[in-house]
Structure 1
Amino acid sequence: MNRHTPSAFGRDTLDAKHVERSLSLPGTFAMWLGANVVVTTILTGMLLVPSLSFSHAMLLVLLGSAIGIVPLVLIGAMGQRTGLTTMVLARATFGRVGAGLPAWVNLCALIAWSWIQALLAGMSLDYAVESLTGYSNVALFTVLCEGLVVLIALRGHLGIEAAEKIAALLMLVLAAVVFYALGRHYDLPSITEVTAQGGLGSGMAFDIVIATAFSWIPLAADYNRHCKSMKAAVAGTWGGYVAATLIAMGLGAAVSALSLSAGLAQTYDPTQLLSNFGFGLPAAFVIFFSVLTTNVMCVYSATLSFMSVRPTTPFWKPALIIGIISVLGSLIPGILDQFQNFLLIIGSVFIPAFALMIVDYFLIDRGRFTHQNLIAQAGQLPIFNPVAFLCYAAGAALAYYWNWVAPLSFGASLPVFVVTGLFYYVATRWQRRTGGASA
């Protein structure tokens, strides 16, 4: 474990040689639990029911999260072993300039996530203030929430780790209270008797759960580089994420089933939904905090992605600009209506890229993934890796085709991940045998 002065306000860097190992196994578990027991994951659970029965939906959630988290765990393990951020690791696969593509794509995706999170936080805080004072202004509270997000993000990973521990505890308490309230007001076991009404098929539902897990992959190394041990990085991440997904999606599926059976309309506003059971105000504060901490993770990793392309930029500058962009985007009308499509799009974009990185590190040549090679001597790296880009393009094309042109009954995420990785493994081995090299 490295011992040195903790990172100062706004001073987090890409440095791997002096990375702070601050996350134990319980800390890692709490961080990923707090990150994913959040309203957007609850909303995903609401998407599954009543298209599917509750039991069927939860089986898919268990399988999808347990399988979908594996690539995230692997990228996180790469970060723990090397001390490098996700997009710096991408340099080994895509080249020193080529890595800018996944970095910019990741930056845009995280900003879009931040739009959704900022709006949900603003809605929750607005509900709480209106309940207490009668004053309502979602736009103002969204701006205030995002301002707080930027302040926490500027503190760096230490501030995020502390906030996630509190968020994990609060969201566990909230989930327990919600299920208790549901049990008191309704026949909770009856949710297992709700019949599927069509809409999402099993394959699409499974794919959404997988895509939710894959959407976190770009953040994995950014945080798990601070894990004290590989056990903490692997067991803490897998356990925290799967537990969070079961709790959050299970809560969303349960509330959806019961609210519809009681004649209540589904809503994207969690505080409005929970107020139907008599505890909207406390839930608003807890949901606000949970969304806030998740949004901090988005802004922080988006900042690191920018720094991987512009390494001389001080941390605070992109963090501040990204925070402002997040506020403006959160005010786009109807943004939450595109939530399901957004999940599938980011899955299509990220699955091929991280399939290449995982195959490159674990099956081809992990010796290239070092601080010396990717940071200290980055100027000696190839400009870009044409094989990686060709395989990425093939994987992205397959993702588009299998998602929107000829959808697979069992979803496209896993097939795209496996096929793209196989393409890259075969192409790279063939290139090395024939003496080819990156540009």
Structure 2
Amino acid sequence: MATTEAGGGIERRTIDVIPAAERHGTTRSQFTLWFGANMQITAIVDGSLAVVFGADALWAIIGLLIGNVFGGAVMALHSAQGPKLGLPQMISSRAQFGVYGAALPLVLVVVMYIGFAATGTVLAGQAINNVLHVDAPAVGILIFGGLTALATTVGYKLIHVVGRVATVVGIIGFTYLAFRLIADYDVSAVFGVRGFEVATFLLAVALGAGWQLTFGPYVADYSRYLPAETSERATFWSTFLGSVLGSQWAMTLGVVVAALPVSAGGADFLTNQVGFMGDLAGGGAVALLIYLVIVVGKLAVNSLNAYGGFMTMLTVVSGFARIREVSAVARVLYISLFLGTSVVIAIFASADFLDNFKNFVLVLLMVFTPWSAINLTDYYLVSKERVDVPALYDPAGRYGAWNLAALGCYVLGVVAQIPFLAQKLYTGPITEALGGADLSWIVGLVLTAAVYYPLAKRTSKPPSAMILPEQSPASARVG
């Protein structure tokens, strides 16, 4: 049997509860993990999209900040659940959807992780190829896939180490790039070029919010090892500040470089994001260091995607197979399947990267805002942080196999957003009437919570106190 994560070897815990004896660390680890995972090249691309699709640079930065703050708050509320429950995020969602019912959003979560892993692997692969002076895209992609597999297999502790390293090198590298940008270009000229437009401003807000909200289904996976007595407030703020500061810094850089006129190099970034960063650094040895910064930042977040994907796949299977633990061999197989799929997609990825990525993020926002609304409404307002943990693994227990009320609210929350969508393939009638403003994610959050709350208050039967595996279920009555 592999040693425990706390002992420094390969992590052996997966979807089971983390025992008190294996809890460790402080909330500082949440700040560095999420700062490092957000200060990276894909966040730069995400920020650039606001300008690419029509927003003025100033209003794009403000819109992205509003979205990051709002979405970051929702994401950090999920993180605060980790220390108290000691569970992966999607296992805890069985309390809302049922042991089997949780599989419905879980399938979409796996698709999300694969998509983000593939898009991130494309960019990291480009950086590795630039370091090695290799033209074949598959070379860098395969090397990066191998690095991600190593970090994911070792697990929680190494992932946090990568986050700390990414924070340090990210601050140094991105600060240097910001100085070079100010020194080499007339940055002030990119602001005020276009007037304020509601539609493009709300797109920027949606891009920032979507970026943060898509972390929701796995954020507690990385706080669940913290001691149970860890302050929820401290966990919230460490996660929130790390994620929002890291992402806003990177997105602001993306806004500025995308807003540069073609004559000043703006077109170079839109066609070759990684190469532009190397050129901005000044080329030569310094560019190689920036490429390594890009690889480390992408490794931080890609490890989260692969780890979360593996845990989510296992959560789906375990719900039906009635298992709580898996062998080291099974762990490797799950991780290999996930990463193999993402690497293949990365190799054959479309050249229209920016446009596809924008639509990918906004589609994910559509399917995950209702999930967040249900999970947070139930945990904080209905169950009031009281969960019967053993019942999360028993379809005949308190939470049952399927919670039709929660599943119905989830489907309603997704469908209700359709008239408000602003997508490449479809624009909703309400969105057209609003001039293209995308409000779908707000509708998904507010409507889902408003419908779910009264239903859950009537049908939910939370325990009167938290029930952990060490306790007898009989010791806590149904509330």
What is the TM-score normalised by the length of structure 1? 0.91
Amino acid at match of 2:244: V
Pair 1:8–1:170, CA change in 2 (3 A): same
Is the contact between residue 17 and residue 371 of structure 1 (CA under 8 Å) also seen in structure 2? no
What aligned pairs does 1:27-176 form with structure 2 within 5 A after superposition? 27-49=29-51, 51-130=54-133, 135-176=134-175
Pair 1:59–1:383, CA change in 2 (3 A): same
Whole-Å Cα distance in 1 between the matches of residues 122 and 265 of structure 2? 27
The residue aligned with 1:236 is: 238
Matched, 1:282 2:294: no
Is the contact between residue 126 and residue 137 of structure 2 (CA under 8 Å) also seen in structure 1? yes
Which residue, 328, 352, 355 being the options, matches 2:370? 352
Pair 1:331–1:199, CA change in 2 (3 A): farther
1:117-173, Cα deviation, whole Å (9 max, x unpaired): 11111111111211xxxx322112201110110111001110100001001111111
Is the contact between residue 128 and residue 292 of structure 2 (CA under 8 Å) also seen in structure 1? yes
Pair 1:194–1:418, CA change in 2 (3 A): same
Matched, 1:332 2:348: yes
Whole-Å Cα distance in 1 between the matches of residues 70 and 80 of structure 2? 16
Amino acid at match of 2:444: V
The residue aligned with 2:417 is: 399
Which residue, 285, 288, 300 being the options, matches 2:307? 300
Pair 1:360–1:259, CA change in 2 (3 A): same
1:205-256, Cα deviation, whole Å (9 max, x unpaired): 2112111111111121111213342244111111111111220001101111
Pair 1:423–1:367, CA change in 2 (3 A): same
Whole-Å Cα distance in 1 between the matches of residues 95 and 386 of structure 2? 6
Is the contact between residue 71 and residue 209 of structure 2 (CA under 8 Å) also seen in structure 1? yes
Q: CA deviation at 1:69?
A: 1.2
The residue aligned with 1:419 is: 447
Whole-Å Cα distance in 2 between the matches of residues 341 and 274 of structure 1? 24
What aligned pairs does 1:311-330 form with structure 2 within 5 A after superposition? 311=318, 312=323, 313-314=326-327, 315-330=331-346
Whole-Å Cα distance in 2 between the matches of residues 244 and 87 of structure 1? 25
3-state SS in 2 of match to 1:218? coil
Pair 1:425–1:37, CA change in 2 (3 A): same
Pair 1:157–1:137, CA change in 2 (3 A): same
Pair 1:117–1:62, CA change in 2 (3 A): same
Amino acid at match of 1:426: P
Whole-Å Cα distance in 1 between the matches of residues 369 and 340 of structure 2? 28
Pair 1:293–1:4, CA change in 2 (3 A): closer
Q: Which has the higher contact order (CA 8 A, sep 6+)?
A: 1
Q: CA deviation at 1:4?
A: 8.8
Pair 1:310–1:356, CA change in 2 (3 A): same
The residue aligned with 1:206 is: 205
Matched length: 426
Is the contact between residue 141 and residue 343 of structure 2 (CA under 8 Å) also seen in structure 1? yes
Is the contact between residue 64 and residue 210 of structure 1 (CA under 8 Å) also seen in structure 2? yes
What is the TM-score normalised by the length of structure 2? 0.83
Pair 1:268–1:40, CA change in 2 (3 A): farther
Whole-Å Cα distance in 2 between the matches of residues 302 and 412 of structure 1? 26
Q: CA deviation at 1:176?
A: 0.6
What aligned pairs does 1:215-234 form with structure 2 within 5 A after superposition? 215-228=214-227, 229=230, 230-234=232-236
1:51-93, Cα deviation, whole Å (9 max, x unpaired): 2222211111221111111221111112221111111011100
Q: CA deviation at 1:323?
A: 1.2
Gap regions ≥5 residues in structure 1: 434-439
Matched, 1:374 2:392: yes
The residue aligned with 2:466 is: none
**Percent of residue pairs identical:** 24
Pair 1:310–1:254, CA change in 2 (3 A): same
Amino acid at match of 1:323: L
Note the aligned Cα RMSD (angstroms): 2.3
Pair 1:387–1:294, CA change in 2 (3 A): same
Pair 1:362–1:187, CA change in 2 (3 A): same
Whole-Å Cα distance in 2 between the matches of residues 430 and 15 of structure 1? 30
Pair 1:226–1:382, CA change in 2 (3 A): same
Is the contact between residue 43 and residue 268 of structure 1 (CA under 8 Å) also seen in structure 2? no
The residue aligned with 1:6 is: 7
